[in-house]
Chain A
Amino acid sequence: MDLIVHALGALSPLNLALALLGVTAGIVIGALPGLSATMAVAVLVPVTFGMAPESALIMLGAIYTGAIYGGSYSAILVNTPGTPSAIATTFDGYPMARRGDGDLAVTLSTIASVVGGLVGVLALLLLAPLLAQVALSFGPVEYFWLAIFGLTLISALSEDSTLKGFMGAGFGLLLSTVGVAVIGGDIRYTYGSPVLLGGIETVSALIGLYCIPVLIDLVATPAAHLKVDGVSRGVRFREGMAIAIKGKLNLLRSATIGTGVAILPGAGGSIASLVSYSEARRVADEPASFGKGNPQGVLATEAANNATVGGGFIPTLVLGIPGTPPDAVILGALLVQGFRTGPELFTTNAGITYTFVAGLFLATCLLLPLGLLIGRYAFKSIISIPKALLVPTIAFMTVIGTYAIRNSASDVVIMLCLGVLGWVLNRYGFRPSPIVLGLILGPIAEQGFVQGFLMGRASGSLFATFFGGPISLTIIALSLLSVFYPMVKARREARRQDKTINGEASP
């Protein structure tokens, strides 16, 4: 009952307007590389101090939802994840755009984001206290195994040679150790440069590795950036819906994975979308078509990363432990406003919580019309803008975006160097994705491993620490499955093919 009352409260004209404004601003900020959801939310916080708490929460939720979704635009259209959560969207989104299906990819991303977002919000509403307990059962060892599970994606992401993938991922993992170590306090691989003390900033590395190679090849030829058929086909909504309905299991599974991973405070949106991508690929009939513009790949990652919005609020609101970096900012804003997290948020303070949930729900629904509208506009401008303007504009966004992350000009230089290196490596068959995978999973794997080691040494049994828990064993089993299943499947298929060939040949 309460819920309906509060939901209606959320629907006041002012709040609706704020949600609309928030989602729009979020989409724009999210679409610009370098401007992450965290930054969008952080900028808004002081503005919300002057508002009524309900309005403030609705606006924060709206801008967050919009930003996570907006990241898919640059991922699809210029191969650059606007936010780290959109990394996996580049895998299939950009190839789709290259072959002239950019509009369809944007529409799919919109549909998937709405579905994913709604699943996340529903989980937050109905299962929050229960799921929060799950978050706590994940300790350092479980995070370590989760990172290893993520690394099993290497073989899928390196089409050319798995060994090259391992070398690339190793390079990424080593890059992630640059700077001051959290455990041990060592200063590693900085070569005396204060610039490297803070480590390689993940988002600037993403911009460099994904976007700079696109720019380098864009200026090399007079050909258009994306293939265009010449006919305007609208937003291709019906086509998109048909694909989404065909992939409904994929959508639901990805949204569930997204929610599940977001509950874990150490993981976050990038891992959620990577895991759901690898699952979608593993289950698919033709895993080989992933990474080459398979629409299901876009559906999987976008459903997962928008599900992290609702999912991430579960530990944030119930335990006071932020699930994702933007949650940390919103939690800080709540504390400053005088709210306390915990079970009271679902009992005595339920009003605030339900208004917030209703606001998230509203923002997610607004994604559909706004996303289709803005997405269509973004797609049209990318294909119609002449190359002589497109190149400097993208370059400008990469530089200003990288600079803005830490207000650091040195990060821009690092971004460029990684970009050139990425271009060279890619030319010789080392794809950027395993490198990025290593960079993102490195800290989780390292901290989980060393913490687990310290815990195991204290308890006297390293083996029991690493292989004792049911969750650890489950993740290990999943990792093994993810490595061996495609091989078993390929072998079976090869045998079947042999049979049919023989069968045809014999009579």
Chain B
Amino acid sequence: MRLSHTLTLTAMLAASTLVAPLALADAEDFPAKDVQYVIPFGPGGESDISARLQQKYFEEITGQQLIIQYMPGGGGAVGWSQLNDMTADGHTIMGSNLPHIVLKPMGKDAGFATEDVNNFYFFHYSPDAILVREDSPYQTLEDLVEAARQAPGVVTFSGSGTYSANDVANTRFQQLADVTTTYIPFKGTGAAVTALLGGQVQAEWGYTTVAANHQDKVRMLAVAAEERHPLFPDVPTFQELGYDMVGGAYRGMAVPSETPEEVQARLSEIFDQINQNPQFRQEMEDLGFVLMDVGNDDVADFLAEQSQQYETSARELGLID
């Protein structure tokens, strides 16, 4: 009895996996089944957490589950280089991060080109920020700049990765403030903030999200957003202090490039609906994220604009010439 049951189940499984991809993806009743959401990083990071927040609302809107998968490696390169080999029916989407998808391909052998990542929505960003420890002598950004000017290279910043959002921010800031600092790359934001809390570095290039997470232990000196973050009304933006810096780590979603236009439009619509949900907005802001609604139609312009900025920074970093 049990055996025949198992066999039938196997047969059904086999049949369903063979047939399912053949069914034409129709935008009208999309999604017809659960959607796989591949995060090209490991679990527990900001890409993961923000995706987990979307998960709940996706199910509310579509009745289908958003299943989060991880494909870590090479700072996202492993995932993005495989994106276009995945099933292009909209039921597989992948997290996409700026500046990673622009900066990575500038190096050699990245395994993918920026154009290979077919984004359909950018939903938020974590603004860059300079953080110091609660008991740090640097009360304001000016204190820190002054210290760096006095002794070039002595002020150390921890940050996540090389040729990353933090690295770009540091390069840009050094140029705007005309100072020299030492940037020490760590594996991930978690390790970078640990080094700050442990006093191994004097400051950290982090994000508003890091400050939100460690409110009692760190002080944020400036935020690279257009306006002050609602969680930190007392922390000035870089622009207020005279440095023209707005940026951070932008996060969105992409699909394989073969995915039908209508399905992409529908996906963009669903995620826009999630972004408009007041509860979702509140949860995201509490964690320090800044929401943005760059839908399917505006993604190209947004990317072009950002890429230009990153190219300038990449030139300064010596990544391209």
18 contacts between A and B (CB under 8 A): A137-B198, A139-B200, A182-B162, A194-B77, A194-B78, A198-B72, A319-B217, A328-B44, A332-B45, A332-B48, A336-B52, A342-B215, A342-B216, A406-B71, A407-B38, A408-B71, A455-B201, A460-B154
Q: Which of B157-215 contact A (CB under 8 A)?
A: 161-163, 182, 184-187, 190-191, 193-195, 197-201, 213-215
Q: Per-residue CB proximity of B60-93 to A under 8 Å, as 1/0? A: 0000010111111111011001100000000000
Answer yes or no: B55 CB below 8 A from chain A CBs.
yes
Contacts of A458 in B (CB 8 A): 153-156, 182
Given known pairs A179-B74, A343-B216, A406-B73, the reply for A185 and B153 (CB within 8 Å) is: no
**Bound: A174/B125 CA distance, A:** 36
Given known pairs A136-B194, A332-B44, A406-B73, the reply for A197 and B154 (CB within 8 Å) is: no
**Bound: A250/B111 CA distance, A:** 49
Do B200 and A198 have beta carbons less than 8 Å apart?
A: no
Do B43 and A197 have beta carbons less than 8 Å apart?
A: no
Answer yes or no: B49 CB below 8 A from chain A CBs.
yes
Answer yes or no: A14 CB below 8 A from chain B CBs.
no
Q: 7 smallest A-B Cβ distances: which pairs?
A: A198-B73, A328-B44, A194-B111, A185-B162, A198-B78, A197-B74, A139-B200
Answer yes or no: B110 CB below 8 A from chain A CBs.
yes
Nearest CB of chain B from residue A382's CB, rounded to whole Å = 22
Answer yes or no: B42 CB below 8 A from chain A CBs.
yes
Nearest CB of chain B from residue A412's CB, rounded to whole Å = 15
Do B156 and A329 have beta carbons less than 8 Å apart?
A: no
Do B162 and A183 have beta carbons less than 8 Å apart?
A: yes
Answer yes or no: A129 CB below 8 A from chain B CBs.
no
Answer yes or no: A459 CB below 8 A from chain B CBs.
yes
Given known pairs A182-B185, A332-B49, the reply for A197 and B161 (CB within 8 Å) is: no
Contacts of B55 in A (CB 8 A): 46, 49
Given known pairs A137-B198, A198-B78, the reply for A338 and B283 (CB within 8 Å) is: yes
Answer yes or no: B303 CB below 8 A from chain A CBs.
no
Do B186 and A451 have beta carbons less than 8 Å apart?
A: yes
- Counting contact residues on chain A (CB < 8 A from B), the size range is 35 or more
Do A319 and B197 have beta carbons less than 8 Å apart?
A: yes
Residue of B nearest to A320 (CB): B213
Q: Per-residue CB proximity of B140-162 to A under 8 Å, as 1/0? A: 00000000000001111000011
Given known pairs A180-B77, A185-B161, A197-B81, the reply for A325 and B44 (CB within 8 Å) is: yes
Contacts of A321 in B (CB 8 A): 190, 193-194, 197
Q: Per-residue CB proximity of A330-363 to B under 8 Å, as 1/0? A: 0111011010111100000000000000000000
Do B163 and A197 have beta carbons less than 8 Å apart?
A: no
Contacts of B230 in A (CB 8 A): none
Answer yes or no: A369 CB below 8 A from chain B CBs.
no
The residue that A457 contacts in the complex, of B68, B111, B182, with Cβ under 8 A, is B182
**Bound: A139/B191 CA distance, A:** 10
Nearest CB of chain B from residue A467's CB, rounded to whole Å = 16
Beyond A140-B200, A185-B107, A265-B191, 4 additional pairs, beta carbon < 8 A: A183-B185, A198-B78, A335-B287, A451-B184
